[in-house]
C-alpha cells in the first residue's frame, strides 16, 4: 500500500525494520540468557536488551559486520560490563573474563543446537505433508490425538492390527524420507 493511501486511512506508514534489529530480536532468548547469567538480574538484562535493540534499530539496513549474532553478543557483553562497573559500589561484581567466555560459548552452542532442531522439525513437517493422506491420517490420530490402534480402527473401519501395520509403514516412510533428505543436504 502506498504511503499516501495509509495517511488517507488515518494510519502512519510502518517503517521497515533494519536487518540488524531483526537479528537482535530473533536472538532475544539467547541474548537474554547470556545477560541474565552475567547480571543475575532480569530487569537489568531487559534494560540492556532494550538498549541493544535501539542501537540495532539505528543501524543501517545491513547488519553490523559479517556475523550479526557475534556483534549482538559483543555489544551485550560491553553494555553488561559497563553497567556492572558503574554499579560496583552497590555490590554487583564483574565476573572473571574466563567465566564470561564460557557462558558465551554455552549460549552459542545452545543457539546452534536450537537452529539444528528447528531445521529438523521443518524437515519432519515437510516429509509428513508429502506422505499419502491415509498414512498422515493414521499418524495424526495416533500421535496428534493420542488414540490407540483399536479406536483408530473403529473410526476408520479397520482392524487394530491393520492400524498397527499402517503406523509402522508410515513411520518407516518418514524415516526413509528424512534420511534421504539429510543425505541430500549433507546433514548428519
8 band by pLDDT with thresholds 50, 70 and 90: very low
Q: Please check the confidence at residue 64 and state whether its pLDDT lies above 80.
A: no
Task: Please give the pLDDT value at position 160.
Answer: 93
Q: Quote the pTM value.
A: 0.58
Domain ranges across the chain: 1-118, 131-188
Angstrom distance (rounded) from CA 116 to CA 112: 6
| End-to-end Cα, the chain, rounded Å | 45
Task: Please give the pLDDT value at position 134.
Answer: 93
Q: Please check the confidence at residue 145 and state whether its pLDDT lies above 90.
A: yes
Angstrom distance (rounded) from CA 20 to CA 18: 5
Q: Please check the confidence at residue 150 and state whether its pLDDT lies above 90.
A: yes
The dihedral through the CA atoms of 107, 110, 115, 118 has a sign that is negative
Q: What architecture (CATH level 2) is domain 131-188?
A: Orthogonal Bundle (1.10)
φ, ψ at 147 (rounded to 5°): -80, 140
Amino acid at each position: 500500500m502506498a504511503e499516501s493511501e495509509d495517511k488517507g486511512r488515518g494510519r502512519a506508514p510502518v517503517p521497515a525494520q533494519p536487518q540488524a534489529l531483526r537479528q537482535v530480536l530473533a536472538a532475544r532468548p539467547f541474548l537474554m540468557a547470556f545477560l541474565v547469567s552475567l547480571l543475575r538480574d532480569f530487569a537489568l538484562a531487559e534494560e540492556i536488551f532494550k538498549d541493544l535493540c535501539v542501537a540495532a534499530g539505528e543501524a543501517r539496513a545491513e547488519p553490523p559486520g559479517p556475523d550479526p549474532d557475534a556483534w549482538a553478543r559483543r555489544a551485550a557483553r560491553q553494555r553488561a560490563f559497563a553497567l556492572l562497573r558503574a554499579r560496583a559500589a552497590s555490590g554487583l561484581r564483574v565476573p572473571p573474563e574466563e567465566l564470561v567466555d564460557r557462558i558465551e560459548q554455552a549460549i552459542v552452542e545452545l543457539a546452534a543446537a536450537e537452529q539444528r532442531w528447528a531445521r529438523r522439525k521443518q524437515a519432519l513437517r515437510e516429509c509428513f505433508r508429502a506422505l499419502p493422506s491415509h498414512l498422515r491420517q493414521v499418524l495424526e490420530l495416533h500421535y496428534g490425538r493420542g488414540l490407540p490402534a483399536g479406536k483408530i480402527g473403529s473410526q476408520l473401519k479397520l482392524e487394530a492390527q491393520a492400524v498397527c501395520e499402517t503406523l509402522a509403514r508410515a513411520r518407516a516412510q518418514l524415516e526413509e524420507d528424512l534420511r534421504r533428505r539429510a543425505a541430500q543436504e549433507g546433514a548428519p
